Chains A and B, each alone.
Chain A
């Protein structure tokens, strides 16, 4: 692929949901880029728009009640938001794959694992029955499922949670996509399995050489896997940085607070962890001012009325904040 072309560029993406309670402003103008082979982590608390952003990129939002109000998603010179539904079906699974949070509910309970795997293959390639079966065995072995040939005829309920997530990963990678979106793939698993899955995905990513977007609210996972991190809050990107930069010198008060709320092995244990005061904003109201202002310890008058734009401060480190956290002064 020519490096001059954009691999993935999301520009000013806005997604809303029209519910009986009113309009939910879920994603409010998100922009970011992704290079070929790069791993981007998206962090933020529940309901901050991480998943909705990614599902909007793949157009998996159900419309209605959802609506992608504006924006551009350029993937290899094509605007995904302008493609027809059948063109989109060729992108999904073949070029951009997605894995989900809960492996217990992400597999169809009445179809065998083999059937679900081969069907993905046969949707996107012109393999015949036997070829796709063999490829499915290879895939299951690749993701570390023992006795893969025999397990093809098993149903999802005969697999454990970790094994099911491996199957989901095998399905996602069946057609060697160039981008994998992982929506909290380890959240529903217990800690030892989490570590196994993360190691597995890291290994597979190298094998395939694909780019990856990893959604999580676990900052510990981010450090081990990502090149770059995006921090989201209330449907906005509030900070974007290389992973080391973010941990060493967070620039947004929200990121700072998040990092202080994280238990760390190298910190004294007699102090209580800090928690962030207040609650996330109600997404039913049209956003005005900085969304974090009501909970921010550095809040200034300007923050309440004007929403800061995401601006680059130093070497690809971007932040959306009126205040310089280090000095406490306005920018």
Chain B
């Protein structure tokens, strides 16, 4: 009877070099069942959105056929068709690309602004900190949804179409990315500032200054890598947040404009058919729920895996 528990420790194991930080993180992450589930679902959704493009052209996803409008799921249209006869399966595929793109880039914008403001406020302190933090608090005091709606009303009046990755997109995509990024950084800035406040007092920062390291190098090469864990976690959650915010604004008809599909704007007219044509909202809605849920699980797992205080292997 040999079980895993009774396996004797080999010499190689005893003499193995200590685990690197990356190894340790991966070990803890692997134990988090829900995080693994989240990661797998996320990978599948990415395959769905980007792999699916091999089977349908974008033209097909935007093709309106009024003879086939509001068809329930059938062999030709597995997810049914919408109010103007577009294939919902193809639209969820292309819409997924845009939703994921918006999620990632908006979170990127958020992280860049958040890090910059948080780092400068935390590191330099004093009046700079006071001014930046009052500004941050002012931003936090305005409800984000209100800001989003007002800004998208204001900016997305007449934006030309643009070309990204060989795709013709409504310029409103870029507007939405910027608006989401610009309205969601304050929380992150506060997290970054708090990290900087505590790390800048650590002895190795003094040691770095004593070797003539400049302030910018200390901020970006010494303090930032030490505060990367909470930043990664909130950036991950920021992706989920951006996807659902986009869905929200697009649902209200103020987000990404047709013909470009997103999971959010596919819901736009669906509320009128909640009882009569469930396929209009079920598939995009399900995808939004799945992606935000899996990203949140992933973020949870990362939080546990990257937290140095839970460093038990």
Contact = CB atoms under 8 A, between A and B. Distances in A.
A91 B204 contact: no
Which of A64, A91, A94, A98 counts the most chain B CB atoms within 10 A? A98
A108 B226 contact: yes
A128 to B, nearest CB: 18
Given A110-B226, A119-B221, A86 B203 contact: no
Contacts of B212: 89-94, 120, 123-124
Interface in B187-244: 202-204, 206-214, 217, 221-222, 225-226, 228
Nearest to B226: A110
B165 interface: no
Nearest to A168: B207
B206 A100 contact: yes
A36 interface: no
B20 interface: yes
Contacts of B203: 100, 102, 105-106
Nearest to B209: A60
B122 to A, nearest CB: 13
Contact of A107 (B204, B213, B214, B217): B204
B5 interface: no
Contacts of A110: 21, 225-226, 228
Interface in A85-130: 86, 89-94, 97-98, 100, 102, 105-111, 119-120, 123-124
B126 interface: yes
B226 A109 contact: yes
A10 B71 CA distance: 89
Given A89-B214, A155-B20, A158-B18, A109 B204 contact: yes
Contacts of A119: 213, 217, 221
Nearest to B214: A89
Given A92-B211, A100-B207, 4 more contacts: A93-B213, A106-B206, A107-B207, A172-B210
Nearest to B201: A62
Given A106-B203, A108-B204, A155-B20, A58 B226 contact: no
Interface of B: 17-18, 20-21, 126, 202-204, 206-214, 217, 221-222, 225-226, 228
B221 A92 contact: no
A314 to B, nearest CB: 37
A60 B209 CA distance: 7
A108 B208 contact: yes
B103 to A, nearest CB: 28
Contacts of B228: 110
Nearest to B210: A98
B163 to A, nearest CB: 38
A210 interface: no
Contacts of B225: 108, 110-111
Contacts of B221: 111, 119
A88 to B, nearest CB: 8
Nearest to B207: A106
B249 to A, nearest CB: 38
A195 to B, nearest CB: 23
A136 interface: no
A64 B202 CA distance: 17
Nearest to B204: A108
Q: What 3 A-B pairs are tightest by C-beta distance, nearest first?
A: A93-B212, A93-B211, A92-B212
Interface in A53-81: 58, 60, 64
Contacts of A137: none
A102 B203 CA distance: 8
A238 interface: no
B223 to A, nearest CB: 9
Contact of A120 (B17, B202, B211): B211
From B204, B209, B225, residue with most partner A Cβ within 10 Å: B204
A98 B213 CA distance: 13
Contacts of B210: 58, 60, 92-93, 97-98, 100, 172
A122 to B, nearest CB: 10
Given A89-B214, A111-B222, A64 B126 contact: yes
Contacts of A109: 204, 226
A279 to B, nearest CB: 27
B192 to A, nearest CB: 16
Contacts of B214: 86, 89, 123
B281 to A, nearest CB: 46
A171 interface: yes
A97 B213 CA distance: 12
Nearest to A105: B203
A242 to B, nearest CB: 29
A120 B126 CA distance: 28
A155 B48 CA distance: 40
Interface string A162-182: 000000100110100000000
A109 B20 CA distance: 12
